[in-house]
Amino acid sequence: APAEEWISRSDEDIIGATMSELAKLFPDEISADQSKAKIIKYHVVKTPRSVYKTVPNCEPCRPIQRSPIEGFYLAGDYTKQKYLASMEGAVLSGKLCAQAIVQDS
């Protein structure tokens, strides 16, 4: 992500590339030619604006978890942490927020 290069590709191209990547990651279970695990049915969903794209100079806009308001903290994938707009970022932000609360208590 972002998937600019994939959004105009056919569903078959996307499935083929996905299977090739999965075959590299799980060679005992998956092969690109589907001689092992097989896809029975699929539907490719394309959401061109579903994730954020990093652009220069945006990092300073992301707030830290400790706000300037006493007792008010922020958590979410939009806050300052090492992952951009992802579930991992949201979880890490929650942990950082909890750490800030503990430190201030």
Domain borders along the chain are: 1-50, 59-104
pLDDT in tens, 14-23: 999 988 999 9
Banded pLDDT at 103 (limits 50, 70, 90): very high
pLDDT in tens, 29-81: 988 787 888 889 999 988 777 666 677 888 888 899 999 999 999 998 889 88
Taken as a whole, the chain contains a residue count of 105
- The answer to whether the predicted template modeling score (pTM) of the entire model surpasses 0.85 is no
Output 86 or 29, whichever has higher pLDDT.
Answer: 29
| Among candidate residues 8, 51, 29, 86, the one with its CA nearest the CA of residue 76 | 86
Q: DSSP code of 66?
A: B
